Amino acid sequence: MNKDNFVLIMAGGVGSRFWPVSRIEHPKQFIDFFGVGKTLIQSTYDRFLKICPPENIFVVTNEIYTDLVRKQLPGLSENQILAEPIMRNTAPCIAYGSMKIAEINPNATIIVAPSDHTIANLDSFIASVEEAIVAARENDCLITLGIKPSRPDTSYGYIQFMDNTLPGDDRIHKVKLITEKPNLDLAKSFVQSGDFLWNAGIFIWSVNAISDAFSTHLPEMYDIFHLGASSYNTSDEKDFIANAYTQCTNISIDLGIMEKADNVYVLPTDFGWSDLGTWASVYDMADKDYVGNAVMPSEQVMMFNSSNCMVNVPEDKLVILQGLHDYIVVESNNTLLICPRTEEQSVKQIVADVKSNFGIKFI
CB 264, CB 175: distance < 8 Å: yes
CA distance 111 to 119: 16
Sorted by where each begins, the domain ranges of the chain are 5-274, 279-358
Which amino acid, residue 98? S
Report the top-level CATH class of 5-274.
Answer: alpha beta
User: Taking Cα atoms as reference points, which of 94, 109, 362, 40 lies closest to residue 214?
Assistant: 94
What confidence tens digit (pLDDT) does each residue in 23-54 have?
888 899 999 888 788 999 999 999 999 999 99
DSSP structure class, residue 195 = -
CB 11, CB 69: distance < 8 Å: yes
Of 83-92, 164-173, 275-284, 352-361, minimum mean pLDDT range: 275-284
Question: What pLDDT does residue 246 have?
Answer: 94
- pTM beyond 0.85: yes
What confidence tens digit (pLDDT) does each residue in 102-157 have?
999 999 999 999 999 999 999 999 999 999 999 999 998 999 999 998 888 887 88
Q: What is the mean pLDDT of the chain?
A: 92
Q: Is the model's pLDDT at 284 over the cut of 90?
A: no
What confidence tens digit (pLDDT) does each residue in 305-348 have?
999 999 999 888 899 999 999 999 999 888 999 999 988 878 88
Classified as helix, coil or strand, 336 is strand
What confidence tens digit (pLDDT) does each residue in 166-203 have?
988 999 999 999 988 888 888 898 888 889 999 999 99
Q: Which residue has the higher pLDDT, 263 or 194?
A: 263
Strand partners, 331: 336
Question: What pLDDT does residue 171 have?
Answer: 94
Q: Which helix (H) or strand (E) holds 119?
A: strand 118-119
CA distance 21 to 336: 10
CA distance 56 to 184: 40
CB 6, CB 103: distance < 8 Å: no
Mean pLDDT value across residues 230-248: 96
Which amino acid, residue 221? M
